[in-house]
Amino acid sequence: MAELLSIAKLMSKVPEIKAIIGDQKPEYCYQCAKCTSGCTAAKVVPEYKPHEIVAAVKMGMIEEIMKSGILWACSECWKCSEYCPQDVAPVEVVLALKNIAVKMGYRPPEALVEMVKNAIETGYMQGIMEVMTNEFEFVDRDSLGLPKLERPPNMEQRRAALMRFFGVVMK
Amino acid sequence: MTLKYAWFPGCWVAYRMPYVEKSDRLVMERFGIEIEEMKGATCCPEAQFMEAVDRRAWLTLAARNISIAEGMGRDILTPCPGCYETLKMARGILKEDEEMAGIVGEALKKIGVVYRGTSDTTHLAGVLYDKVGIEAIRKAIVRPLTGLRVAVHYGCHLLRPSKYLDFDDPTSPRKLDELVEATGAVSVNYMRKTMCCGGPAGVVDREIGIKILREKLYWIKKAKVDAIVVACPSCYMHMDGNQPYVEEMFEEKYSIPVLWYTELLNWAMGVDPKDLKFYHRVRIDPLLEKLGLT
C-alpha cells in the first residue's frame, strides 16, 4: 500500500509549502456537507464533493487526490467558504492542494499553463483580440477613443523574478 | 466631493471588450468620477489561474500592480470583479500574513518595487452605489426602461470571499439589483441567483463550463425575463458567447440577451445603443425594438 501523505509529512518533503498555502485547518471539519450542498461544481460533476476532499486530506490521502485530477473541477466560486460553519473553507484546502500538486510536478490543465506563460512573457494572461461589433465594425481602444495603455517596464527582470516560483510548471 | 481613482481596466475589458470600458467611462463622466490610467499595469493576475498554480506569484504580481496606484496616491477602481477580487484579497492577505509579505517583498525588490499596502480597490458598481448613490442615478434617467424584466447575475468575485471583499452580502446581495432598477427595469428573482456562471470552470474543462451555464439558464428562463444583466466581463463572455453551445448540447432554446449593467444605465440616460458599439452574440434587436430604442 502506498504511504499516506499528511500535510505535516508534506512540509518536510516540500519545505516552502507552509508559506505557499497559508493557514489550513481541515481537522476542524465535522462532515456536515454544507459546502457540497452549495457547490457549483458538484451540481454538474457528481464525483466532486468538497467535504469528501477535506475528509481525504484528514486521512492523509493527499497524493491520491492529486493523482485523480479532481481538484481542477473546482470553479473557485467561494460559496463553500461562506457556508462552512467551521471556518475550514474547502476552497482554500483545494487551492492549497493545487499549489502543492504543481510543486510536486503534477502538470495543471494546459489552458492554465498557457495563461501563466502569457502573464510572464507579455504581462497579460489574455491575448489581444480583434473585436467586432454587431454592426460588423472592427473596433479597438484607439477607434473607441480610449487612452493607450503603457506596457510594463523591465520585462526581463520581471521574468527572472517570477521564474523562480514556476520552475516545474514551465518545463 | 471629488471621486478620484487609479483606473485598472484589466486584460479582458481593456483588450477584448473595449466597448465595456467606453460604456463605463460615459457613466463615470456623467457622475464626476475622475480616473487616471496606471502606467505599466499588467494582468491583476486572475486568481482562478495564477493563485491556483502559485500563490506567491499571484500575490507578487498583484502587489506590483497595487504599488503603481500607491505612487499615484490613489485607490484603485476597476470594472472587473476578477481584478477587484485579486487586488483587494492580495492587500488583505499581505496585511495579515507576515511570512508571505516577506516573500513578496523579496521578489519585488529584484525589480526595484516597494509595496506598502496603502491603496485599496473598489469595483465601479460599488462606487456608483455607495458614493454616487441611487437617488442621483435615478435623477439622471431620461428614458426609463419601463416594462423591462431582467435577471441580475452578480458573478462570484464581486461578492466572495467576504472575508476580504465588502461589495455586498455574499449570498443575498441587493446593490446591483438596485442599480439596475434605478433605470426603471424590474429585477426578477430566480433560483441559483448567486451561483457561478461556469466561465472559469469552462476554461479548464469546456463541458463542465457549458453544463454549469445550462443550470443557470434553465432557472433564468423559468423567471420569464427579457435579459440577463452582468457586471463581470468573464460572465458576459461566457453567458452570451456560449449560449448557442448550451442550446446545442441540451437541445433546448434559450437566446436570452446578456447586457452589461452600465450599458443599461446608458440607454436609460439617453445614449443611443448603437453608439456604445457592443458585441452581443445573442442578438438584442428584438429587445431594443420592444423598448422603442431602435
Per residue in B203-239, pLDDT (tens digit) is 999 999 999 999 999 999 999 999 999 999 999 999 9
Q: Residue B257, SS3? A: coil
The CATH number for B143-291, chosen from 3.40.50.10420, 3.40.50.11810, 3.40.50.1360, 3.30.300.30, is: 3.40.50.11810
| Cross-sheet strand order for the sheet of B33-37 | B33-37, B3-7, B76-78, B121-123
Determine the pLDDT at residue A1. 44
Residue boundaries of the structural domains of chain A: 2-103, 110-166
When pLDDT is averaged across residues A121-139 and rounded to a whole number, the result is 85
Q: Does B272 touch chain A (CB under 8 A)?
A: no
Residue boundaries of the structural domains of chain B: 3-123, 143-291
Q: What's the CATH code, domain B3-123?
A: 1.20.1050.140
Count interface pairs A-B at CB distance under 8 A.
210
- Complex ipTM value: 0.93
Name the A residues in 128-147 with CB < 8 Å from any B CB. 128-129, 131-135, 137, 139-141, 144-147
- Quick check: A124 pLDDT over 70? yes
CA distances from B10 to A151, B45, B85, B216, B264 (A): 13, 9, 12, 26, 21
Q: Does B99 touch chain A (CB under 8 A)?
A: yes
Q: Do A75 and B108 touch (CB under 8 A)?
A: no
Burial classification of residue A20, based on how many CB atoms lie within 10 Å of its CB (0-12 exposed, 13-18 middle, 19 or more buried):
buried
Q: Does B169 touch chain A (CB under 8 A)?
A: no
Class (C level, CATH) for A2-103: mainly alpha
Instruction: Indicate which of B49, B94, B110, B283 best probes the interface with A, i.e. most A CBs within 10 Å of its own CB.
Output: B49
d(CA B207, CA A134): 27
Closest partner CB to A126 (pick from B16, B110, B198): B16
- Quick check: A171 pLDDT over 60? no
- Chain A residues inside the 8 Å CB shell of B194: 79
Considering only CA atoms, give the Rg of chain A.
20
Grid cell of B71 as nine digits: 505612487
Q: Do A157 and B47 touch (CB under 8 A)?
A: no
Asked if residue B19 lies in contact with residue B278, where contact means CB atoms within 8 angstroms, the answer is yes
Band of pLDDT at residue A2, cut at 50, 70 and 90: low
In which residue ranges of chain B is pLDDT below 70? Answer: 1
Grid cell of B134 as nine digits: 441611487
Instruction: Indicate which of A134, A135, A164 best probes the interface with B, i.e. most B CBs within 10 Å of its own CB.
Output: A134
Burial classification of residue A105, based on how many CB atoms lie within 10 Å of its CB (0-12 exposed, 13-18 middle, 19 or more buried):
exposed
Report the Cα A4 to chain-centroid distance in Å: 23
Same fold yes or no, B3-123 and B143-291: no
Asked if residue B95 lies in contact with residue B63, where contact means CB atoms within 8 angstroms, the answer is no
When pLDDT is averaged across residues A140-147 and rounded to a whole number, the result is 93
Taking only the tens place, the pLDDT of each residue in B16-48 is: 999 999 999 999 999 999 999 999 999 999 998
Q: State pTM to two decimals.
A: 0.95
Determine the pLDDT at residue A156. 80
